[in-house]
Chain A
Amino acid sequence: MSGPAVVMIVAVALIVLALVYYLVSVIFQLRKITAGLDVVIGNVVDILEKTAPVNDVVNDINGQLDAGVDLLEGLLVKKAGMIDSMGLIEGLYPGAAAAGLRNFPESGEIDAPRIGEVYTKGTLTLARLGREAPIAAANPAGPVLRAVEYGSSAARALYPEIRQERPEVMPRSPVIGTDSPEQYEQREDIGKPRKRLPTGPGASGSNSGS
């Protein structure tokens, strides 16, 4: 065999060795990639399973909240009127009236009136409900009518004096029981056989059947 042929064989052998080395290395890397992708696929499937009901749930929540907003906006506008509604909203949340109501696009163009802390219509409504609302009973510049901690006593103080003293002058409820301060005389015949059976036309029992 000639020299160039031997050199050619050596060169081809080197090429084959290089191919084997690199291709085997690539195979190992591809196996690592496959293993990593298996983990990714498992996690993605897990994510898909967890997020599957989100769409329906969120849509349902949004629908419920939309219904609530529709109800509250409609009720507010129905009861207070569009202009007063915007004034009330502006009084509670300054600047919110400019955004307007969602279901009433024209509400954003209304110049919201200034409505104070006491809304006259609400007070009159309470009065019509028979709650004896303290209309003009207190100075608006004074303390709040209803304290959070003493809400009951503060409200009671607004009513006429007789309502506050009445429970104090009323007699106390009687105390009953063996240790009550006032013991009543007991009849000795209670619980014993009758000394005389009831007779006569008004008596009931065996006489009625004969």
Chain B
Amino acid sequence: MNPSLLRSFVVVLALGCSVTALAADVSAGAAKVKQICQACHGLDGNATIPDYPKLGGQYPDYIAKALRDYKSGARKNPIMAGMAAPLTDADIANVAAYYASQPAVLDSRY
């Protein structure tokens, strides 16, 4: 692939993805998920506990937004505040990218 074609491909990709998703490391996200999220949300994000949301295949920028809001206190939940507090911006991007990469059990529906 020639460089200019590659460059335009990257630009299109960057426009299509959210900023957080672009910088994300899915395998680092998987490691965090195993430590922190898995017990409630499941390793594949298909939470079996009805009170907790399924995250598998959810949009990564929505997951990241939720985590940022839990961390800042804009969204209040005592459990999630504790989970989100130690996460760095990179952790948030990685975790979001990991769950978004899982086979979707969720869909857009009308």
Asked whether A and B interact, the reply is no
